[in-house]
Structures are given as C-alpha cells and as structure tokens.
Amino acid sequence: MEKKTKPIVIGVTGGSGSGKTSVSQAIYNHFPGRSIMMLEQDSYYKNQDHLDFEERLNTNYDHPFAFDTDLLIKHLFKLLNYETIEKPVYDYTKHTRSNEVIVQEPKEVIILEGILILEDPRLREMMDIKVYVDTDDDIRIIRRIKRDIEERARTLDHVIEQYLGVVKPMHTQFIEPTKKYADIIIPEGGRNQVAIDLMTTKIDTIFKKRSL
Ligand SMILES: Nc1ncnc2c1ncn2[C@@H]1O[C@H](COP(=O)(O)OP(=O)(O)O)[C@@H](O)[C@H]1O
Ligand SMILES: Nc1ccn([C@@H]2O[C@H](COP(=O)(O)O)[C@@H](O)[C@H]2O)c(=O)n1
C-alpha cells in the first residue's frame, strides 16, 4: 500500500520581539484558503489557575519549564496523523489559559512558531524546515515595550524589570544557542520581503508536488 505523505512542519523561532509572528503571519497570509495553519508555542504555556496573580507575575515565562511541551508534541503528532486538535487559548493579561479552545483541523503545512521550539530535541525532530529570525536586542526590547503595554496590559516598569531579570538572561542561555539548529536565518524579521518570498516559493513547490 502506498504510504501517505505527512504534513510539512516549518518551525519559526527567534527571541521575543524578533518578528517571528510577523514572518509566520506573512507566510500564512500568502496562502488564503490553502491547506496551511499556524501553531503558536505560546498557546502551550502551562495552565496556572492554581496560582494567585502575584505568583503568576513571578513565573519565568522564558524558561523551557514554562511550557506544556508534552501537550504540544501530542498535538503535533495528531496533526501529522491528520487528526483534529483542540488548541488551548492563552490569556497574557491573566497569565494562564483561558477556558476556551480552538478546534484546529489538520493541514498540509504547519507553521510552528515560538521562542523555544528549537530547544527541545523532540520538537526539532518533527520539523522539516527550521527558521531563526535574528533581530538585534535593542530593536526587540523597544518592540516588546510597545507591544506589552498596548496589547498585554503591562506597565513600563514591569516590562523593564522582567526583561532585565528573566527575558534577557534566558534568551542568552536558551534561545540564542538554538540558532545553530536553523536551516535559514532571517535578519530583521517582519519586513524582510526577500526571505518571506523564498519561504512562500518553497511552500508553493510543496503544494505543487502534492497536487494541492
Ligand atoms: N520589521 C518590523 N518593523 C517594525 N515593527 C515590527 C517589525 N516586525 C515586527 N514588528 C512589530 O514588533 C512587535 C513584535 O513583533 P512580533 O512579530 O509579534 O515578534 P515576536 O513574535 O518575535 O515576538 C509587533 O508589535 C510587530 O508589529
Ligand atoms: N504570561 C506571560 C507569558 C509569556 N510572556 C512573555 O512572552 C514572550 C514570548 O512571546 P513573544 O511573542 O514575545 O515571542 C516571552 O518572552 C515571555 O516573557 C509574558 O510576558 N507573560
């Protein structure tokens, strides 16, 4: 019996504020109505309903332990097996999962995006293409300040304290070293149209090969 091809997994990583969501969205938006989906590692932050808000504020969200990676891997295996998943929804304002889930049907191309997706060898093993979005630290912190205040209900003092205390050291210890696993390094994230064109051309080839 002919073996069915499995979906393609494209991992997109980089430091916080590097532009990995923007790159992933740009690739995804290039294929409206096609068999492509996004899977965000952030959706798999651990549930913290058992902790009070003060304790949640002190969680290290940039350490691999912050993620329910077993659940992410389980869901990825299901998607590779063409099964539907119930993707958790994360609430950054409450620092825990919301009660909702998103029903996600399997697709031929999965864009897996997150700060620590290349840190876990099991996840690396599941990826066909690995991308690292490489953006200078000063640009990343400026973007993060703006975003966290506007979209994640944070104060300037909290963003700075979190960045210096946790985000920066964890980036150096866990995220930056995963660059060596990348097949492609994209400088200056979101607006690197050449890199996005190369990625979309590659995906187009995959769709054509699969007659999709
Ligand atoms: N090339 C860029 N130029 C200016 N702003 C950008 C660029 N890429 C991303 N941004 C902005 O920076 C913030 C972080 O980008 P995002 O793609 O969410 O990064 P990440 O997912 O790596 O944290 C967002 O508000 C986004 O609109
Ligand atoms: N409750 C949380 C959960 C995560 N973070 C921060 O999010 C960053 C990862 O998301 P990006 O879109 O920036 O890649 C990570 O650096 C965490 O510090 C948070 O602040 N609060």
The average pLDDT across 59-81 equals: 98
**Domains of the chain with CATH codes:** 8-204 (3.40.50.300)
The atom number, within ligand 2, closest to the CA of 95 reads: 1
Residue 190 in marked binding region = no
Is the pLDDT at 197 greater than 60, yes or no?
Answer: yes
**Closest C-alpha residue for ligand 2 atom 6:** 61
- CA dist 87 and 147 (Å) reads 23
Q: How many whole angstroms from 148 Cα to the centroid of ligand 1?
A: 11
Ligand with an atom nearest the CA of residue 44: 2
Pocket test for ligand 2, best of 23, 42, 54 (most atoms within 8 A of CB): 42
The confidence band for 123, taking pLDDT boundaries of 50, 70 and 90, is: very high
CA dihedral over 202, 19, 14, 111, signed as positive or negative: negative
The average pLDDT across 127-145 equals: 97
The average pLDDT across 94-103 equals: 96
Looking at residue 165, what DSSP letter applies? I
Is the pLDDT at 2 greater than 80, yes or no?
Answer: no
Looking at residue 190, what DSSP letter applies? G
The atom number, within ligand 1, closest to the CA of 188 reads: 1
The average pLDDT across 170-179 equals: 98
pLDDT digits 0-9 by tens, 38-51: 999 999 999 999 99
Instruction: Share the mean pLDDT of the chain.
Output: 95
Is the pLDDT at 1 greater than 60, yes or no?
Answer: no
Residue 189 in marked binding region = no
The atom number, within ligand 1, closest to the CA of 113 reads: 21
pLDDT for position 64: 98
- Determine whether the shortest distance from the Cβ of 189 to ligand 1 is under 6 A: yes
Helices 193-209 & 20-29, crossing angle to 10 degrees? 50
Residue 16 in marked binding region = yes
pLDDT for position 105: 98
**Closest C-alpha residue for ligand 1 atom 13:** 143
| pTM of the predicted structure, to 2 decimals | 0.96
pLDDT for position 3: 57
pLDDT for position 210: 87
The atom number, within ligand 2, closest to the CA of 162 reads: 18
pLDDT for position 211: 83
- The ipTM value here is 0.97
Given the DSSP bridges, would you call strands 85-91 and 96-104 parallel, antiparallel or unpaired?
A: antiparallel
State the Rg of the chain over Cα: 17
Looking at residue 22, what DSSP letter applies? H
Count CB atoms within 10 A of the CB of residue 195. Answer: 20
What one-character-per-residue DSSP string does 73-91 give?
HHHHHHHHTT--EEEEEEE
pLDDT digits 0-9 by tens, 176-189: 999 999 999 999 86
